[in-house]
Structure 1
Amino acid sequence: MASQTHSAMLQRVKTGNGFIAALDQSGGSTPQALQHYGIEPDQYNGDEEMFAKVHEMRTRIITSAVFDSTRILGAILFENTLDRNIEGIPSAEFLWQKKQIVPFLKVDKGLALENNGAQLMNPMPQLDTLLSKASAQNVFGTKMRSVIKKADSTGITEVVQQQFEVGKQIIAAGLIPIIEPEVDINSPDKSDSEAILRTEILKQLNTLPDTQQVMLKLSLPNEADFYKPLVDHPRVLKVVALSGGYPLEDANVKLAANHGIIASFSRVLTNGLSAQQSDDSFNATLNSTIESIYQSSLT
């Protein structure tokens, strides 16, 4: 990536208002995302048609006039979207050139089976190749997700160590990693998991040299401002929150109570949108959702 472009994006993420739109549902979650959007499985055949349909949906969102840089700071894409164009321009380039929205790329290859109450990321043998491709298309950063289901210190430590290990590989490629150790919102000992997680993340942050920064994507905590030490840490560029299955209204209330954290919502962002809507109805619904998430991200 050109250093000038990277610097402009870095400044935008550091100082700009708004939230990060997570448009990165990949293979496994795409059928549900399409169904949510009013496109049934019998309306496409095979993966290629499915991904073409979901790209149409994302293109409609991204090209909407209400999807703008005054309220949206960045957008997370997945590799298939990176490989496609929007209005004749590669998707990541379109976001930055036409919208001044910072592009991120989901790089993980899904989750391993649960062990010690957590799911690590699957191996990513092609990561360096993917990072080179992302960098060539002026992608600013990456996102990768693990899941914590129980307050097991062994499992949580393994998750955080793996995230930072891969994060360092991403930093070495000139990109900013979004480290996402999601705590399952339905976990019976969620608060305990959050306490262990915060400690382990702080340990890893304190090992980074002062020339390096990461972003964190975390489940909304049970206790407001619980992650303030992470928000304030000099090695953290930004802390963003996932909605994690909370309804939009609940997610917004919880987000507003966590100062300095912005949204990176996925499922709730597309609430109420459907392929059958007129453009006016589609844009009005999207505008209302974006505005509510934006306001909650300002605290």
Structure 2
Amino acid sequence: MNTEQKERIRTGKGFIAALDQSGGSTPKALLQYGVKESSYAGEDEMYAMVHAMRTRIIKSPAFDSKRILGAILFENTMDRTIDGQFTADYLWQRRGVVPFLKVDQGLAELEDGVQLMKPMPGLDDLLKRAVERGIFGTKMRSVIKAANPDGIRKVVGQQFDFGRRIAAAGLVPIIEPEVDIHIADKEAAESLLKSAIAEQLALLDPDTSIMLKLSIPSVDDFYADLIKDPHVLRVVALSGGYSQSEANAKLARNHGLIASFSRALAQDLAADQTDEEFDAMLAASIEAIYEASIV
């Protein structure tokens, strides 16, 4: 593990950029960017276009280590290059941004009010390749859609089981049990989630480091004790469907919680913008998210 990167994530001011849309979410990301499905034929062209979008973001003068601590990549992006360097190397060596990798293979069907992660039979090989590609940590997402104690316990147990394997491979896992922001019992679900996470943290070896990626809580500073836990390098927040302004306002009321936004980061960027327009829009978004992340 790169100790300089670890210290930057643990103590740095800024936020994590989520550039990890994959599979079914890639067409949505491109459509938000102004690229219709009729503009590409097949997966190869689609991934080439989304890599071009991500490259434009990463190479923008606005995207730098003054405000951005890390960036989460999709496997396809990790294997591609920017100016002749693998994406993770470019991020760290040229931009000073710590690279992470999305490793989950999507969500299983809803059961017990939650969606677990699908099996990951190729995880060990992917982790080995991630280490070779200069990746610092990983991210994997589950979804909670009801305050169901059994379901939430299963989600958190699965996340930490995979997290231990990822840590053993020399990477820092971002554990992401997302609580759906639209559910009526969100606050109750968050209470169950926090308890389940605390139980799992107590079982970790003393030298194991993880990160948490959580929905912005209904009660301000609700995750303060998780933020202080010695196993937790950082707790980051997903935007979860909130607009950027909504997410920033809610985030700013939670001390020590920083952003890891995807749609909310890129929501005003468009393929047909000039470089000047694109860079100005991205700079405004990054500054607003940064300010909400440093309270």
List runs of 5+ in structure 2 lacking aligned partners.
none
Q: Secondary structure at the match of 1:225?
A: coil
Alignment match, 2:220: 224
Alpha carbon RMSD of aligned pairs, Å?
0.5
* Pick aligned residue for 1:86 from 82, 103, 114: 82
Alignment match, 1:156: 152
Amino acid at match of 1:99: R
Alignment match, 1:237: 233
Aligned runs of 1:1-299 on 2, under 5 Å? 3=1, 6-299=2-295
Q: Secondary structure at the match of 1:143?
A: strand
Distance 1:183 1:271 in 2: 21
Q: Secondary structure at the match of 1:209?
A: coil
Normalising by structure 1, report the TM-score: 0.98
Distance 1:267 1:75 in 2: 14
Q: Secondary structure at the match of 1:51?
A: helix
Measure how far apart 1:267 and its partner are. Answer: 0.3
Distance 1:240 1:37 in 2: 24
Q: Secondary structure at the match of 1:177?
A: strand
Measure how far apart 1:138 and its partner are. Answer: 1.2
Q: How many pairs are equivalent?
A: 295
Identity %: 57
Distance 2:269 2:7 in 1: 32
Distance 1:256 1:42 in 2: 39
Measure how far apart 1:272 and its partner are. Answer: 1.1
Amino acid at match of 2:204: L
Measure how far apart 1:209 and its partner are. Answer: 1.4
Amino acid at match of 1:97: Q
Distance 1:81 1:138 in 2: 13
Q: Secondary structure at the match of 1:28?
A: helix
Measure how far apart 1:75 and its partner are. Answer: 0.0
* 1:39-72 deviation per Cα after TM superposition (whole angstroms, max 9, x unaligned): 1111100000000000000000000011000000
Distance 2:267 2:156 in 1: 31
Amino acid at match of 1:37: Y
